Amino acid sequence: MIAAGSRDRGQVLPFYVAMMACLLFAALAFVVVGMAGATRSDAQGAADAAALAAAQDVRDNALTGWNLLNLTPEEWEEIIRGRRFDTEGACGAARDFADTNGATAECDFDVPEFTVSVTTNGTVGDSVIPGTENVHARATATAVIEPRCSLKPATTPPPPEGGGVVDIQCRDGSVIIVNPSDPGSLNNLARKLFVVRLTD
């Protein structure tokens, strides 16, 4: 005759094994979620860096290629307001930064906004959930170039052909005086005229 206690233990054992299997699967699934989150975070970081790189490349070269001696006040105002940006090298800069962060990038520019979508080279990896070894993380970021200055109203009429000293008034109250014949570093000047930031 089989004791009642032995019969109960025999019934509980399969339940216990099934419960432990479920808990183990849940724990492994939780790890997969963490891995996916980390991969997604990597993708977002790569997207942010790539979008900023694109916008900064355009910002830093905002004055490159212009003959400052020949610019009229109207042309100066157009440049300072961000209406004359050259985006030729921007996507290359974004792709370089994405590659540095282990991702590939696609660009979509609507100046002054620079949107970059990235896909990580790495995947979530092998896991208890089928297919994760083929899942790449994707993320998008947008950076914007914001003008922070404008031409200071002239107290004397500027020469119509350009070439005079240029006074620029910035939002923080500072004044930038540019001598077109000796402007110094155009990259540094551009960084004073424009700010680059990620959009919300």
Structural domain span for residue 37: 4-198
Quote the pLDDT of residue 5.
52
pLDDT band at 192, cuts 50/70/90?
very high
Q: Please, what sign has the CA dihedral across residues 51, 52, 56, 59?
A: positive
Q: Find the mean pLDDT for residues 153-165.
A: 59
pTM, two decimals, is 0.73
Q: Percent of the chain beyond pLDDT 90? A: 52
Quote the pLDDT of residue 17.
57
175 pLDDT more than 90: yes
Q: Which has the higher per-residue pLDDT, 30 or 83? A: 83
Taking the C-alpha atoms of residue 112 and residue 55, their distance in angstroms, rounded to an integer, is 8
Quote the pLDDT of residue 10.
55
149 pLDDT more than 80: yes
Quote the pLDDT of residue 137.
85
Q: Which has the higher per-residue pLDDT, 116 or 159? A: 116
Element (H, E) at 121: strand 113-123
Quote the pLDDT of residue 109.
93
Quote the pLDDT of residue 127.
46
**pLDDT (tens digit, 9 = 90+) per residue, 84-120?**
999 999 999 999 989 988 899 999 999 999 999 999 8
Quote the pLDDT of residue 1.
47
pLDDT band at 62, cuts 50/70/90?
very high
Quote the pLDDT of residue 120.
87
Number of domains in the chain: 1
Quote the pLDDT of residue 134.
61
Torsion of CA 10, 11, 12, 13, to 10 degrees: 50
28 pLDDT more than 70: no
Taking the C-alpha atoms of residue 176 and residue 81, their distance in angstroms, rounded to an integer, is 15
Name the least confident of 78-92, 131-145, 154-168, 185-199.
154-168
7 pLDDT more than 70: no
Asked whether the beta carbons of 112 and 146 are under 8 A apart, the reply is yes
Token pair listed for 19: 């419960």
